[in-house]
Amino acid sequence: MNAGWVLLHGALLLGMVLTAASILWIRNLVAGAIALAVFSLMMALEFYLLQAPDVAIAEAGIGAGLTTAIFIVAIMATRSGKTPNPGAPEDEGTPE
């Protein structure tokens, strides 16, 4: 295990922690979904480096591809919290 290998693993793990934290911090929902996709991509790379290419393909396809699409479709189906929702009852307050 040489230094470059350790550096690569460290950079990937640090990036995973940073993207996971940014999913919580980011207020924009679409940006959060993209951050989740980046997290999944780094996870897939880490799986590949740990010699599990089978799991890496599944993670890249499901995590980075399909869940992002499903999240984006779900975000497209919702309205922004600031605009009044005509169908919702009035006394619920504005959701963040």
Q: Which of 17, 50, 62, 88 binds another protein (CB under 8 A)?
A: 62
Task: Note whether 58 binds another protein by CB under 8 A.
Answer: yes
Q: Per the structure block, which two tokens stand in for 22?
A: 């940014």
Nearest approach, Cβ of residue 14 and another protein (Å): 26
Q: Which of 6, 7, 70, 88 binds another protein (CB under 8 A)?
A: 70
What is the residue type of 11?
A
Nearest approach, Cβ of residue 95 and another protein (Å): 16
* Measured distance CA(89)–CA(79) in Å, rounded: 15
What is the residue type of 90?
E
Task: Note whether 72 binds another protein by CB under 8 A.
Answer: yes
Q: Which of 54, 91, 92, 96 binds another protein (CB under 8 A)?
A: 54
Comparing CB distances to another protein, the nearer of 6 and 62 is: 62
Comparing CB distances to another protein, the nearer of 19 and 68 is: 68
Q: Per the structure block, which two tokens stand in for 42?
A: 């780094």
Q: Per the structure block, which two tokens stand in for 33?
A: 């979904």
Count Cβ atoms within 10 A of the Cβ of residue 43 and give its class: 0-12 exposed, 13-18 middle, 19 or more buried.
Answer: buried
